[in-house]
Structure 1
Amino acid sequence: MLIAHRIALAPNNAQATYLARAAGTARFAYNWALAEWKRQYETWKADTSHPRPSQHSLRRQLNAIKREQFPWMLEVTKNAPQMAIIQLGQAFQNFFAGRARYPRFRKKGVHDRFTLTNDQFSLDGSRIRIPNLGWVRMRETLRFAGKIMSATVSRVADRWFVSIAVDSPDSSHLPKAENQGAVGVDLGVSTLATLSTGEKVTGPKAHTALLHRLRRLSRSLSRKQKGSANRRKAKARLAKLHARIAAMRSDALHQLTTDLTRRFHTIGIEDLNVSGMLGNRRLARSIADMSFFEFRRQLDYKAAMRGGQVVVADRFFASSKTCSACGHKLDELALSIRQWSCPACGTTHDRDVNAATNLKFMAVSPTVSACGEKALAAVARRR
């Protein structure tokens, strides 16, 4: 099982300069190969006697000309340009397979990264040795055991990180779930997650909390003259704030998903149409601030590591409109209604807790995949 461990680096000024130069070399090689790929592909379409472009041919072509045309590439590790072209080849494979869109050019300050193969770097405790640079301090040691496959050095705002991929023989390096039973999780905007146990987890709403400062720094950047030192400083301040917002959101999601997968073996969640929800201009910012997709991604892999399972309800599963006590389903339930009483049995429900309870019933039902909502009514009647 491939596991990646992302560790912050602590380079000095000279080392940070080298890392920036290596990332720039990788970005240049990627963009050069993409432009050359387009040119060669158009030539091949016009006359099939010409060779069709591939990452292997582009790597050989770059190696043949870089000493004369791009001698500055020799100042950094050879992996920087070569792995960038290999990644371009993988991007085209995903595009032709329909898994991704057409590759686009990388931008400075956005795609600052380069990759090393496992034979080009070594680890010693909390240090990593990078070719042509030497040892660079890491903020922590590698937590995973197994065969080291690669390392990707990247920059986020003014900080450098290394993501080390490890092929671990043990797919479950975390303790097994405590198995406190099943739980349903209802995601929302005002409250990030409501559990069927009645617990409510309020998200940090980092973007909303720092929106005033974000707007102020954005205005400051827009007023600076392009190419000036003040614009570069303003851009760096804005990038640091965006990185802080992302870190606050990621930290909250990691704490929540770790707690859920540690306590419960079976977790029921909804299959939310996030792209459709973002079409609501009144709620789009709040929905994006909660990061529902990232929550589900973390939940999936952490549950698998602990031997648990995540059961996803059908997108049209009426978790909010169905009474968790008797199974009666309402025809309509406005989003503004946070509490409602069942007309069949008279039970008063908190909208979110009721939805989470229904998701729990769905997760433990053996016939949910075949019967959908019918299974919910059957489970409710047995109660």
Structure 2
Amino acid sequence: MTVSQDAAGRWFVSLLCEDPGVQPLPTMDAAVGVDAGLDHLLTLSTGEKITNPRHERHDRARLAKAQRELARKAKGEGANRAKSRRKVARVHARITDRRRDTLHKITTRLVRDNQTIVIEDLTVRNLLKNGRLARAISDAAWSEFRTMLEYKARWYGREVIAVDRWFPSSKLCSHCGTLQNTMPLNVRTWTCGSCGVTHDRDVNAARNILAAGLAVSACGAGVRPQRSSPGGQSATKQEPLRREP
């Protein structure tokens, strides 16, 4: 047993024990592709979109007020400054707890309902270098989502496949396989020039991620779609898609 106190002044008791309730779930055929985003936290290949709760944004005014009060206190070991510091910590703890609760509910549902979950191998550290989107990306907690998904999959006998981060899931038509030349972030729906099918950008990406992940699961490698060469000739480039536990 471990007793600890966090920065917000809350006490916790942690018990180390064996949990007989964590057992592999019955095998099933269901599989799902997951596309992470900011407008919607997650988009599934089934067409379902999970709303981004934006916990940090909702408590941003409360956090700013608490931080201003702390900044006005004289530095030192005074009781007033310690009280203000705990107030800031409580706001941070509220944001963290609500975010973690949301991710636990989502990941548990995905693991229970699917045998295979396919995600993108995102490099969140590099994405956070985007100064305009860093705060929103940090609030989305994509790394924590993946961590939860992977350890729950190990618990319950499920499989998580990470598709190569360079796989062009958004630009690839999931109906006919045609690769678009460009796909700006502001384009949320588009129509394929080859087959005429209109796609929701995020749902289309999730379906392509699922297809690529199932290819990895079946043969251990995947083939990227055709890209146009500078001379106008199409060329197929075969590269392995990353598979992770």
Give the structure-1-normalised TM-score: 0.55
Task: Encode CA deviations 1:241-300: one digit per residue, 9 max, x unaligned.
Answer: 110100000000000000000000001100001111111111100000010000000000
For residues 26 and 186 of structure 2, what CA distance do their matches in structure 1 show? 36
The runs of 5 or more residues in structure 1 that have no matched partner are 1-150, 378-383
Query: How far is 1:178 from its partner?
Result: 6.8
Q: Does 1:337 align with 2:187?
A: yes
Q: Indicate if the aligned counterparts of 1:320 and 1:351 stay in contact, CA closer than 8 A.
A: yes
Work out the percentage of aligned pairs sharing the same amino acid: 45
Query: How far is 1:173 from its partner?
Result: 1.4
Q: Does 1:179 align with 2:52?
A: no
Task: Encode CA deviations 1:322-363: one digit per residue, 9 max, x unaligned.
Answer: 110011111211111111111111111111100111111122
Match of 2:233 in 1: none
Match of 2:11 in 1: 160
SS at match of 1:311: strand
SS at match of 1:201: strand
* Structure with bigger RCO (C-alpha 8 Å, 6+ apart): 2
The runs of 5 or more residues in structure 2 that have no matched partner are 227-235, 237-245
**Mapping 1:28-43, distance limit 5 Å:** none
Q: Does 1:308 align with 2:162?
A: no
- Equivalent residue for 1:206, pick from 40, 50, 55: 55
CA-based RMSD of the aligned residues comes to 2.1
Task: Encode CA deviations 1:14-69: one digit per residue, 9 max, x unaligned.
Answer: xxxxxxxxxxxxxxxxxxxxxxxxxxxxxxxxxxxxxxxxxxxxxxxxxxxxxxxx
Query: How far is 1:305 from its partner?
Result: 1.4
Match of 1:127 in 2: none
Match of 2:112 in 1: 262
- Equivalent residue for 1:290, pick from 118, 135, 140: 140
Q: Indicate if the aligned counterparts of 1:178 and 1:262 stay in contact, CA closer than 8 A.
A: no
For residues 348 and 196 of structure 1, what CA distance do their matches in structure 2 show? 15
- Equivalent residue for 1:371, pick from 202, 222, 225: 222
For residues 219 and 181 of structure 2, what CA distance do their matches in structure 1 show? 21
For residues 359 and 322 of structure 1, what CA distance do their matches in structure 2 show? 10
Task: Encode CA deviations 1:115-165: one digit per residue, 9 max, x unaligned.
Answer: xxxxxxxxxxxxxxxxxxxxxxxxxxxxxxxxxxxx433222121123333
Query: How far is 1:197 from its partner?
Result: 0.6
For residues 249 and 368 of structure 1, what CA distance do their matches in structure 2 show? 36
For residues 290 and 296 of structure 1, what CA distance do their matches in structure 2 show? 11
For residues 291 and 310 of structure 1, what CA distance do their matches in structure 2 show? 18
For residues 151 and 207 of structure 2, what CA distance do their matches in structure 1 show? 23
Q: Indicate if the aligned counterparts of 2:212 and 2:222 stay in contact, CA closer than 8 A.
A: no
- Flag the structure with higher helix content: 1
**For residues 182 and 321 of structure 1, do their structure 2 counterparts lie closer, same or farther at Cα, with a shift above 3 Å needed?**
same
For residues 26 and 40 of structure 2, what CA distance do their matches in structure 1 show? 25
For residues 223 and 63 of structure 2, what CA distance do their matches in structure 1 show? 44
Match of 1:357 in 2: 207
Give the structure-2-normalised TM-score: 0.85
For residues 25 and 57 of structure 2, what CA distance do their matches in structure 1 show? 36
For residues 141 and 107 of structure 2, what CA distance do their matches in structure 1 show? 13
Match of 1:81 in 2: none
SS at match of 1:318: coil
For residues 319 and 187 of structure 1, what CA distance do their matches in structure 2 show? 12
SS at match of 2:35: strand
Q: Indicate if the aligned counterparts of 2:177 and 2:225 stay in contact, CA closer than 8 A.
A: no
- Equivalent residue for 2:149, pick from 272, 291, 299: 299
Q: Indicate if the aligned counterparts of 2:30 and 2:114 stay in contact, CA closer than 8 A.
A: yes
Q: Number of matched residues?
A: 224
Larger Rg: 1
For residues 124 and 212 of structure 2, what CA distance do their matches in structure 1 show? 21
Match of 2:89 in 1: 239
Which residue identity is paired with 1:354?
A: N
